[in-house]
Amino acid sequence: AQTVTQSQPEMSVQEAETVTLSCTYDTSENNYYLFWYKQPPSRQMILVIRQEAYKQQNATENRFSVNFQKAAKSFSLKISDSQLGDTAMYFCAFPKIKAAGNKLTFGGGTRVLVKP
Amino acid sequence: EPEVTQTPSHQVTQMGQEVILRCVPISNHLYFYWYRQILGQKVEFLVSFYNNEISEKSEIFDDQFSVERPDGSNFTLKIRSTKLEDSAMYFCASSEQGTEQFFGPGTRLTVL
């Protein structure tokens, strides 16, 4: 069974500073995708960033970037220049590879609080 | 920008009643999903749907649950006889190619 582990239940960061969220996963697959989703207090799930395992270059999306270590099965998210609107739960997600479906397995989430 | 929509945003029902949660996926997407999130817990997969049939379902998705795509645009989740433990946020998601999934805003289901 696939597992996704987020070891930090909660983190706080000062506005404009940087915070890094960790995620580890377990899989026997070689080609796959990894995702980070943001869930603000409204509880909507918003896709933040994705990483394709066959790409060595780490994905970047504006202030969000990942550090993908395939051998270590680690997929951390860095939020730079944190803004108050970044306050949310962040979930790492990993799809089960299947011909049609690719259900996502989510980690337990990390609550990020950005302080003014 | 196209988005997944869900109705209602909040549904309150009595235990034992049937509920239907509705979703309109992004129009050119081919893969559809339902997930749920009990308050304070992680998001859990319920079912995936492709080519007009269920492609995978979790152990949560028992005989009380069913999904349907009745008219080519809507995607519904029916719970036949709700239990207290069905109270959760239910998310619909869709995907064009089965990789990136885009989520709707969720339906909060409260079973009394």
CB A5 within 8 A of CB A25: yes
Q: Is B105 on the interface with A (CB under 8 A)?
A: yes
- Phi/psi class of residue A58: alpha, beta or left (left: φ > 0; alpha: ψ in -120 to 50)? beta
User: B35-89: per-residue pLDDT in tens?
Assistant: 999 988 889 999 999 988 999 999 999 999 999 998 878 999 999 999 999 999 9
Q: Is A31 on the interface with B (CB under 8 A)?
A: no
Q: Looking at the partner chain, which of A33, A91, A108 has a beta carbon nearest the beta carbon of B99?
A: A33
d(CA A81, CA A67): 17
Could you list the pLDDT tens digit for every one of the 116 residues in chain A? 678 999 999 999 999 999 999 999 988 887 788 999 999 988 889 999 999 888 889 999 999 999 999 999 999 999 999 999 999 999 999 887 655 568 899 999 999 999 99
With CA atoms as reference, report the closest residue to A44 among B40, B76, B90: B90
Within 8 A by CB and 6+ apart from A8, the residues are: A21, A22, A110
- Chain B closest-CA separation from residue A24 CA (Å): 15
Does the distance separating the beta carbons of B103 and A104 come in below 8 Å?
A: no
Does the distance separating the beta carbons of A103 and B33 come in below 8 Å?
A: yes
